[in-house]
């Protein structure tokens, strides 16, 4: 086998020959040899030999091969060159809490995703960049431009929703920053701390993992100007197949049903198309960076616009960022200043319960009704309850929100002695959110009010001070010691706002402006808004010690003590320790002699972290509020004040302990690397509101620590370069995760509940009919439904009867099931989640295909049940499958049961991206890269709903019910320029 060469010689050059060997003198087969800036290239043969034609003696060449450091050298004829092993992956810098470490010295479970490996697409949140990239990190996204992704790391571990269930974000060392302040183009890397031995250094905020974001910085040298941008087009990937007018009329006629003639005006309206459009998005990012001497800087401006596929839904965001860093005092003092700012504008459409949702109405509205009457007014059937013209909902209602955020940081680092450095960081963040609603006089949402307006404004701010010492020392004999100790202070002032609701306007012209023109004000709590300034303070002391011997035996211990005003007076302090160790077996002689492993490391760790996210200052305190009205002696109506929350001086932290064991490995010059992890995560003292007697307490619920949840799982990551030739390379990365979630405990001697009912999806005849239940021995997302038993002789759906005492089936069936007839029918928790990335490069072309999927989970298709109600004949539309799957005699056809519980497994080609790198163009353009991307290319699933990627976070995962924003398919064209 010979090298691939051009055998045509020319007087313009000569033939030079060479050989490539490794440090042991063995030939390197298939190494790439190129002459930079030309098309001259070849690969080495089985003996490591190569030859280049039309080159001159002393020509500069570049030699590369997977697992070895790139070599740039001049070449003389018959020269032998040595490639050295590439330890960049092991020596890459990993961001940890309050510092950095080399990858090979890490003892914890940390996943790093570089900017070039992040997802590509139209994303409202930087968190979406990680979907499918990190094992155990479950991210569920929506195509709604105004939505936020649901994020869960290693399973749900709390009974509180919102921020309490999501990871904690740290951006450039600033804890708790809002991630919307960072444009995706400004991100250099993201480090995900997955186990408690890594997260415990963040103590009370780290129970759900920590995500560390590092942004790009300027470097000394020539000023760099870069532009990146894209334009994207969104189309609805799948709509529900609803009955058309003729199909509806035929079914009604064939089954002896009737239609109100005031509805059937001879039209055939596709209501989904009436409210949908092609969504156009574009993004532009300009960055300037550089530096001179000891000073570096970077400035960027980002503009993002996303028009949703539902008319009236859109988002615009402006992000600005500036960084300045310098050194002084003989390089012993580091100073840096950073400011981030964003302005976000959002328009949304009504999405309320009881049918007042565009996403619901576009399916249920009758197809033979027109959009407008002949006189130009909206066609409405105002006498029919929960029935709204979806086009009118969009056009007669305004929901506009404007958010402003600004965050500034100042950092200083001073080297007191060699290896001993003092660090100080001060940060301030302010957020202002203004929401504006107007329901016009033509809107059914303001029926009889002659227009209704609502305006609210709220301000949140956060102040953070971090100060800590780092000491790093390498001793003779391969001993390395790292010590860190610090102090943190934080104050959050949230929910400082007010609201006004008014109605009765003479004209719709001013919309929500000038509320003084209204005739009536809403003086209720709902009208004035529930805004209560909440001031939380936290102080912390923390420390970490790292020790390694020849990077072979590694040890780490951390401890953090947090105090927070959020908890009861008796339990405001808690301690969060961790310990971990690693053994790099690949450094042992007996492993080296095997000549198999390039890297082999065994890790083990245990740590405890807490959950203080999602609290306000009143959680543990006695609170009084408005409970009603009464008429005083002057005949005036005034508020009554009563208890709305009980005090609990013993309320304390939720504590999550995690045991983690992992193996890191590398083979074939690290062309095949990977990690296998096992974890056991247990959360105690879960916080929940428990019913109590009002003879003992002022209010009938008390927030208390009672429950326990466990999560156990296995995670596997494989990275490989199966093919590398002269012009073609295929690299692939696969991660698999399995998590078992179990609610271990809900009650104790003082507070007791047998279960907690969840997921009341409503529906005719099904009030307070919950579809999930949180109970001991089962996961969050346990479906607890009626069991469908088919039809009786009258063609009506019947359900199995269960004994109220034992819960077992009695053998009977009924058309009128009760609460006691519900049973465990499946779980929303996936048995397996997958992310698989493939990158194929050919010369300057690069093709990336990213797949993702979940397997073994159930979805409650409440949307299908809602659209399958025989009682809606002549009142609302049906789904097209209704005649085939239901009998016209079945007045129970819409009852939620395991009949509508479907397999939610799916496998999706989430992103397909093709790029071409033009390289340098002329004297001005250093690099030009063009990329074409398609998101949501195809999905393999048996689920009959709109999309199987439903929310898997929160306390009610796996629910698809009526109010679903359509999933889109996106086509995007992007460009990157560097000057």
User: What is the per-residue pLDDT across 809-837, written as a single tens digit (0 to 9) for each?
Assistant: 999 999 999 999 999 999 999 999 999 99
What is 778-797 written as a DSSP string?
S-TTEEEEB-EEEE-TTS-E
User: 792, exposed or middle or buried, with CB in 10 Å at 0-12, 13-18, 19+?
Assistant: middle
Residue showing tokens 């005492």: 805
Q: What is the CA radius of gyration of the chain?
A: 32
Give the CB-side neighbour count of residue 314, counting CA atoms within 13 A.
Answer: 17
- How far apart are the C-alpha atoms of 481 and 474, rounded to whole Å? 6
- How far apart are the C-alpha atoms of 650 and 703, rounded to whole Å? 10
pLDDT of residue 88: 55
Identify the segments of the chain with pLDDT beneath 50.
Answer: 1-11
Q: Return the closest-CA partner of residue 931 out of 811, 844, 824, 816.
A: 844
Q: Return the closest-CA partner of residue 800 out of 787, 816, 783.
A: 787
pLDDT of residue 3: 39
Residue showing tokens 């790009």: 216
Residue 718 near residue 733 (C-beta atoms within 8 A): yes
User: What is the per-residue pLDDT across 431-476, written as a single tens digit (0 to 9) for each?
Assistant: 999 999 999 999 999 999 999 999 999 999 999 999 999 999 999 8
pLDDT of residue 476: 86
**Percent over 70 (pLDDT), the chain:** 98
- The token duo for 877 is 């539309």
pLDDT of residue 629: 84
pLDDT of residue 67: 65
Q: Is the pTM of this model over 0.85?
A: yes
In 418-565 the beta strands, taken as DSSP E runs, fall at: 420-439, 452-475, 479-503, 520-521, 534-549, 553-564
What is 144-192 written as a DSSP string?
-TT---EEEESS---S--GGGGSPEEEETTEET--GGGS-GGGEEEEEE
- How far apart are the C-alpha atoms of 344 and 402, rounded to whole Å? 6
Bridge partners of residue 378, in order along the sequence: 372
- How far apart are the C-alpha atoms of 961 and 787, rounded to whole Å? 19
If you ran DSSP here, which 8-state letter would residue 234 be given? E
- How many residues does this entry show for the chain? 979
- How far apart are the C-alpha atoms of 172 and 614, rounded to whole Å? 23
């Amino acid at each position: 086998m010979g090298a691939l060469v051009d055998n045509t010689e020319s007087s313009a050059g000569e033939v030079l020959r060479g050989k490539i060997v490794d440090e042991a003198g063995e030939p390197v087969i298939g190494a790439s040899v190129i002459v930079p800036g030309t098309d001259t290239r070849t690969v080495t043969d089985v003996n490591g030999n190569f030859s280049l034609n039309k080159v001159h003696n002393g020509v500069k060449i570049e030699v590369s091969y997977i697992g070895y450091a790139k070599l740039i050298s001049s070449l003389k004829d018959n020269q032998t060159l040595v490639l050295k092993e590439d330890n960049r992956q092991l020596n890459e810098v990993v961001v940890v809490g309050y510092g950095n470490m080399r990858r090979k010295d890490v003892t914890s479970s940390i996943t790093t995703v570089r900017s070039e490996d992040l997802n590509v697409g139209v994303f409202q949140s930087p968190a979406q960049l990680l979907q499918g990239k990190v094992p155990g990190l479950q991210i569920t996204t929506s195509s709604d431009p105004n939505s936020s992704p649901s994020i869960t790391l290693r399973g749900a571990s709390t009974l509180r929703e919102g921020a309490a269930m999501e990871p904690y974000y740290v951006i450039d060392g600033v804890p708790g920053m809002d991630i919307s302040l960072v444009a995706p183009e400004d991100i250099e890397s993201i480090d995900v701390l997955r186990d408690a031995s890594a997260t415990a250094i963040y103590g009370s905020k780290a129970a759900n993992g920590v995500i560390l974001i590092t942004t790009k910085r300027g470097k000394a040298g020539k000023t760099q100007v870069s532009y990146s941008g894209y334009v994207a087009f969104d189309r609805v990937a799948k709509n529900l197949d609803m009955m058309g007018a003729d199909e509806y009329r035929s079914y009604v006629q064939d089954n002896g049903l009737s239609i109100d003639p005031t509805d059937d005006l001879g039209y055939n309206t596709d209501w989904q198309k009436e409210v949908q459009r092609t969504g156009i998005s574009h993004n532009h990012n300009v960055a300037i960076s550089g530096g001179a001497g000891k000073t570096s800087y970077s400035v960027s401006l980002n503009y993002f616009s996303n028009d949703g596929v539902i008319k009236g839904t859109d988002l615009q965001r402006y992000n600005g960022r500036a960084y300045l860093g310098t050194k002084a005092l003989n390089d012993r003092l580091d100073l840096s200043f950073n400011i981030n700012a964003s302005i976000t504008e959002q328009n949304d459409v009504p999405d309320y319960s009881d049918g007042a949702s565009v996403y619901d109405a576009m399916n249920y509205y009758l197809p033979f009704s027109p959009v407008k009457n002949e006189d130009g007014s909206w066609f409405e059937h105002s006498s029919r309850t929960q029935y709204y013209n979806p086009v009118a909902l969009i056009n007669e209602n305004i929901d506009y929100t404007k958010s402003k955020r600004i965050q500034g940081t100042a950092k200083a680092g001073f080297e007191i002695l060699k290896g001993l450095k003092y660090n100080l960081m001060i940060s301030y963040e302010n957020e202002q959110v203004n929401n504006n609603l107007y329901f016009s006089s033509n809107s059914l949402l303001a029926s009889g009010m002659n227009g209704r307006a609502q305006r609210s404004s709220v301000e949140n701010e956060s102040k953070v001070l971090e100060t800590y010492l780092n000491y790093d020392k390498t001793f003779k004999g391969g001993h390395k010691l790292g010590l860190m100790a610090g102090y943190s202070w934080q104050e959050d002032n949230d929910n400082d706002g007010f609201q006004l609701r008014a109605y009765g306007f003479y004209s719709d012209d001013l919309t929500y402006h000038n509320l003084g023109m209204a005739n009536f004000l809403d003086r209720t709590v709902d009208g004035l808004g529930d805004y209560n300034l909440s001031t939380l303070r936290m102080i912390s002391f923390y420390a970490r010690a790292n020790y390694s011997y020849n990077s072979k035996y590694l040890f780490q211990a951390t401890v953090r003590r947090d105090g927070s005003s959020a908890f009861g007076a008796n339990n405001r302090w808690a301690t969060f320790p961790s310990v971990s160790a690693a053994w790099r077996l690949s450094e042992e002689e007996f492993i080296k002699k095997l000549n198999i492993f390039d890297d082999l490391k065994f890790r083990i760790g245990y740590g405890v972290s807490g959950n203080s996210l999602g609290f306000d200052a009143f959680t543990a305190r006695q609170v009084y509020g408005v409970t009603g009205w009464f008429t005083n002696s002057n005949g005036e109506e005034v508020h009554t004040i009563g208890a709305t929350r009980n005090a609990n001086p013993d309320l304390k932290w939720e504590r999550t302990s995690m045991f983690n064991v992992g193996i890191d490995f590398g083979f074939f010059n690290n062309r095949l690397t990977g990690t296998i992890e096992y974890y056991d995560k247990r959360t105690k003292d879960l916080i929940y509101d428990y019913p109590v007697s009002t003879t003992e307490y002022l209010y009938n619920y008390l927030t208390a620590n009672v429950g326990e949840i466990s999560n156990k799982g296995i995670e596997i990551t494989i990275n490989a370069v199966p093919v590398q030739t002269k012009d073609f390379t295929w690299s692939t990365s696969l991660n698999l995760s399995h998590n078992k979630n179990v609610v271990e405990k809900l009650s104790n001697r003082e507070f007791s509940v047998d279960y907690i009912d969840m997921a009341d999806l409503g529906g005719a005849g099904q009030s307070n009919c919950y579809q999930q239940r949180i109970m001991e021995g089962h996961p969050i997302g346990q479906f607890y439904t009626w069991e469908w038993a088919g039809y009786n002789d009258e063609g009506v759906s019947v359900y199995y009867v269960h004994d109220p005492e034992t819960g077992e089936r009695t053998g009977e069936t009924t058309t009128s099931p009760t609460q006691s007839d519900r049973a465990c029918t499946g779980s929303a928790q996936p048995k397996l989640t997958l992310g698989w990335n493939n990158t194929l490069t050919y010369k300057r072309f690069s093709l990336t295909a990213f797949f993702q999927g979940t397997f073994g989970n159930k979805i409650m298709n409440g949307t299908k049940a809602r659209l399958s109600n025989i009682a809606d004949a002549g009142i609302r539309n049906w789904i097209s499958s209704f005649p085939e799957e239901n009998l016209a005699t079945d007045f129970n056809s819409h009852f939620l049961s395991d009949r509508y519980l479907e397999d939610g497994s799916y496998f999706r080609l989430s992103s397909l991206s093709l790029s071409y790198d033009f390289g340098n163009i002329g004297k001005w353009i250093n690099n030009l890269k063009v990329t074409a991307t398609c998101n949501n290319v195809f999905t393999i699933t048996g689920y009959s709903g709109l999309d199987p990627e439903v929310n898997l976070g929160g306390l009610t995962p796996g629910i698809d019910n009526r109010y679903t924003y359509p999933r889109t398919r996106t086509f995007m064209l992007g460009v990157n320029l560097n000057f």
